[in-house]
Amino acid sequence: MMAPAQVVRGVDLLSRVAGAIARLGCRPLVVMGDRTHATVHCQLQPLFNDPALAIAQISYGGECSESSLAQMRQVVATHGADVIVGVGGGKALDAAKLLAYQCDCPVVTIPTSAATCAAWTALSNVYSEQGAFSYDVALPRCPNLLVLDYDLLQTAPQRTLVAGIGDALAKWYEASVSSGHSDRTLIVAAVQQARVLRDLLFQKSIAALQSPGSEVWRDVVDATVLLAGVIGGLGGAQCRTVAAHAVHNGLTHLLQSHGTLHGEKVAYGILVQLRLEEMVQGNQLAATARQQLLKFYEDIGLPQSLTALGLANITLAELQRSAEVACSTHSDIHRLPFEVTPTQLMAAMVSTTAPPSIGRGQEKSSELNSPDALVPTSPRRFTVIDEVQP
């Protein structure tokens, strides 16, 4: 399925959406995280107090993991839940969608931030209990109901919208590489929508961040939550992820990265992908795009480097582990039109802010792909060279 069966968006929706949920089931199980419950409990009270709904709730435990899903399936059975309602960020919504699929129930998604398009998509990412990416599950349909309440989203920290902008930007940089050559109607449409999405975010993000709750802010929220989801719905797996998300997946295996948001890691991953295209292919368009993104990231507060992600002091072994996960056999990084080794990826990961190597082409690529591009400062440490400025 390309889209949710129903999307409702507006203000003060949580006081008016019980009827739409009741049409799907009368015994909802609400899946959310502990922090979400603490911050939005008041906004959810009209839903919990509605006499037409016999609601139970459960915390998904902070990770959409196999053990968490197993515990929630038991609660579904105990409560006799006939509809799952996911409330929260990407992991909570992924957990709710996958739980609903496993229990053959309809699902409602209520995002509490604009940090991802998880409220829309027919996809769930599964993580270990420690937060390391394990695998994703393609679902047979999008949610039955998506509730986009601008009042609720406005309570989220601005950092979450910034992260959502980074995650949404990846649609263009990944889809254009994986599917820009396709002549299939829906894939062409998805790639072109990804370009439109990128341009909207370039044009409107700064103004949106300066005026939360405004019309332009809502435009950017719609772009990150809804339009980003449309692209995956139209193009499917072919337009979903390439190197930027693969880098994210690798970084989740480093405990030090768990303080950063999904979209922040993905945004950094876009720079890594462009750097790979620049180094391995001598692609000067990629070099120009990277410089454009670096300026945009600076303007809105997205991370440009490992240092900005809080990873300046990771060990060489940790960096290698992350790169190996990102380059594993079934990784989406292999959607790139060239082969990538962990050593090449490591070189790109530590040079995301390096000056463009104009005119040096493959010769520069060969130089940066060598292990010598990672400069050891001790037996277990390396210098992050991504702080070098043009």
Which numeric CATH code is attached to 241-390?
A: 1.20.1090.10
Q: What pLDDT is stored for residue 237 in this prediction?
A: 77
Main-chain dihedrals φ then ψ at residue 263, nearest 5 degrees: -65, -25
- The first and second tokens of residue 124, run together, are 């769930």
List pLDDT tens digits, range 324-347: 999 999 999 999 999 999 999 999
At 238 the pLDDT is: 75
**295: which 2 tokens?**
């300026």
Tell me: pLDDT of 381 over 70: no
* Three-state secondary structure call for residue 145: strand
CATH number for the region 7-156 comes to: 3.40.50.1970
Mean pLDDT of 69-83: 98
Q: If pLDDT is split at 50, 70 and 90, which confidence band does 293 have? A: very high
Q: Which CATH class is domain 157-237?
A: mainly alpha
Say whether pTM exceeds 0.95: no
The DSSP bridge pattern shows strands 107-111 and 83-88 to be: parallel
Q: Is a pLDDT exceeding 80 seen at residue 388?
A: no
Grade residue 111 by pLDDT with cuts at 50, 70 and 90. very high
Q: Do 7-156 and 157-237 fold alike per CATH?
A: no
pLDDT at 38: 85
Instruction: Judge residue 379's burial from the number of C-beta atoms within 10 Å of its C-beta, 0-12 exposed, 13-18 middle, 19 or more buried.
Output: exposed
Q: Where are the domains of the chain?
A: 7-156, 157-237, 241-390
Q: What is the pLDDT of residues 238-281, one digit of tens each?
A: 777 899 999 999 999 999 899 999 999 999 999 999 999 999 99
Element (H, E) at 244: helix 243-251
pLDDT in tens, 132-145: 999 999 999 999 99
pLDDT bucket at 362, cuts 50 / 70 / 90:
very low
Look over the chain and give the mean of its residue pLDDT values, rounded to a whole number: 90
Going from the C-alpha of 346 to that of each of 159, 276, 352, 371, the distances in angstroms are 27, 10, 11, 9
Separation CA 22–CA 35 (nearest Å): 26
- At 164-188, the pLDDT tens digits run 999 999 999 999 999 989 999 999 9
Residue-level pLDDT at 1: 63
CA distance 362 to 357: 10
Query: In the prediction, which pLDDT does 358 show?
Result: 55
Inform me whether the pLDDT recorded for 29 exceeds 60: yes
Q: What b/e sequence results for 138-175 when a residue is b if at least 16 CB atoms lie within 10 Å of its CB, and e otherwise?
A: ebebbbbbbbbbbebbbebebbbbbbbbbbbbbbbbbb
Query: Quick one: average pLDDT of 301-305?
Result: 98
DSSP β-ladder status, 28-32 and 56-59: parallel
